[in-house]
Amino acid sequence: MTQQRAVHTRDALIRSAAETFERCGYVQAKLAEISSSAGVSAGALHFHFANKAAVASTVETAAADALRGAVRAAQVPGMNAMQRLTAASHALAEALRHDVVARAGFHLSCRTPQRTGPDLRQEWHACVRRLLAAAEAEGLLAEHVRPEDASVPVIAATTGLEVLGDADPRWLSPGALAGFWRFILPCLAKPEVVAALAPEPSDPGSA
């Protein structure tokens, strides 16, 4: 029971920290506010985390796990590389819309000098490049389209939607992302490939 209580307290602190970092930013966030919002004492917070940097690092790690898990879950056996790319983008957007820990950790990872964990934006960029290279190997890309060239608009647009989503979550909606894919896929893939691709998430009702 004591161990379960400790896990529950730690999870509550991580979520409270994510909410506080999102609301105030890393610099302005106060440990007292994090512990108070989590409903625990300052001593309980320091039992789990040595300082604010340790709290932020844990939020980043939790976000990385959530985002990587979302992208993995979107990959279906037998799905071609172009469909895996669209599915991964929808999974990333859904996690950023609905999970405050994923969102706050992503921002800490990508936008603050205090980052201690992986750069999740760079991980996403590498994922795009890897899937486009796989699409070329599978013979899916249109003639004269190279993976390195195709990665530029995809990375720029998806990163831009993530930034715009801070102010208005509709930029990360399934409809907005599907609209981008409907526009760009005919430029990247062979016509017969485009005809078989779904620009929407595989289960729009879940997003």
Q: What is the pLDDT of residues 174-202, one digit of tens each?
A: 999 999 999 999 999 999 999 999 999 87
Decide if 37 is inside a domain.
Answer: no
pTM for this prediction: 0.86
Decide if 186 is inside a domain.
Answer: yes
Q: What is the pLDDT of residues 136-167, one digit of tens each?
A: 999 999 999 999 999 999 999 999 998 898 88
Decide if 50 is inside a domain.
Answer: no
Number of domains within the chain: 1
Please give the average per-residue pLDDT across 55-61, as a whole number: 93
Q: In one letter, which amino acid is 169? A: P
Distance CA 101, CA 63 (A): 6
21 with 104: CB under 8 angstroms?
Answer: yes
Per the structure, the complete domain to which residue 104 belongs is given by 58-199
Decide if 53 is inside a domain.
Answer: no
Decide if 126 is inside a domain.
Answer: yes
What CATH number corresponds to the domain at position 179?
Answer: 1.10.357.10
CA 56, 62, 68: angle at the middle one, nearest 5?
130
Decide if 10 is inside a domain.
Answer: no
Decide if 127 is inside a domain.
Answer: yes
207: confidence class by pLDDT, cuts 50, 70, 90: very low
13 with 49: CB under 8 angstroms?
Answer: yes
